[in-house]
Amino acid sequence: MNIFKRARVIYILHRYAIHHELWEIAINKLGLLQGLSAVKKAHLRELSTLFLYEKNIYGVQGFQLTDEMRVIIAAQACLPILGLGIQLFSAWSNVVVYPGAFQVSRDERDEFGIVHHEQHLLSGESWLRGPVIFSWQDIEMDMQRWQQGHNVVVHEIAHKLDSLNGSANGMPPLHFSMHPEQWAATFSEAYQLFTQRLEHHQRVCINPYAATNPAEFFAVFSEYFFCAPDILKTHFADVYHLLQLYYRQDPLHRMSTLKN
């Protein structure tokens, strides 16, 4: 970071810091942040401050967001980049929040090349070169059931990170020390195993939506990495290890400290 960018960041953090009381109220409602050290929480607060400063977060359909709601969104959005940096969010600026699940219309081509007009009810959406969209009702539900591996904010942020290479394909730009061949082989094998289990009606402990395509596989598995790391590590240890290297975090170790 050059001296001018650093000076700007210092100014923002000093001038627009999230109020301590508001921060504590918000993060105490987020179970997936349990086990973070004081240093990590302080860094997350800084990232969240920058997120709130740089992003335009607004409600639609008459939905009014409070400061607490914005902080709750920011803290969850910044958790995946805790070891990566806010610069990964520089390509987009808008966060749209619906009061509940929202409907979208799309033209989709089937296996025979026939285009169908489809209606979908969504809890979140991430546009390649546009906003991130959330349902507040689903955010609230995820706050209550976070240990089940559901988090719409983490899911859509994972899509944003995945898209940094130009397309959402399940392989975000990797760190220099990571090997793309290993990532591709490990995720492909896990994806095939997961889809085969579903096809044979075998029990899976992870949201079946992960089988939709490689991009959704990465996003859903990122949810489990942060919210239910024990489930992911038990059933897909190799994938957990690669996500640990990519996100530069170890949620399972963090949460295990709560039991000691």
| Chain segment 97-154, per-residue pLDDT in tens | 999 988 876 656 656 566 555 677 888 999 888 899 999 999 999 999 888 889 999 9
Nearest to 217 by CA among 245, 230, 198, 202: 198
Long-range contacts of 39-42 (CB under 8 A, 24+ apart): 40/82
CATH topology of domain 3-101+118-257: Collagenase (Catalytic Domain) (3.40.390)
Strands 102-109 and 115-122: antiparallel
What local confidence, expressed as pLDDT, does residue 33 receive? 94
Residues paired with 97 in a beta bridge: 59, 134
What local confidence, expressed as pLDDT, does residue 118 receive? 66
Other C-beta atoms lying within 10 Å of the C-beta of residue 143? 17
What is the token pair recorded at 178?
A: 């990571």
Pairwise CA distance, residues 69 & 246, whole Å? 28
| Residue found under tokens 């290479």 | 165
Q: Report the sign of the C-alpha dihedral through residues 164, 165, 170, 174, in that order.
A: negative
What local confidence, expressed as pLDDT, does residue 39 receive? 96
Is residue 109 classed exposed, middle or buried when 0-12, 13-18 and 19+ CB atoms within 10 A define those classes? exposed
Consecutive H or E run containing 163: none
Domain ranges for the chain, please list them: 3-101+118-257
Low-confidence ranges of the chain (pLDDT < 70): 1, 105-118, 258-260
Nearest to 242 by CA among 152, 165, 180: 180
What is the token pair recorded at 96?
A: 């749209």
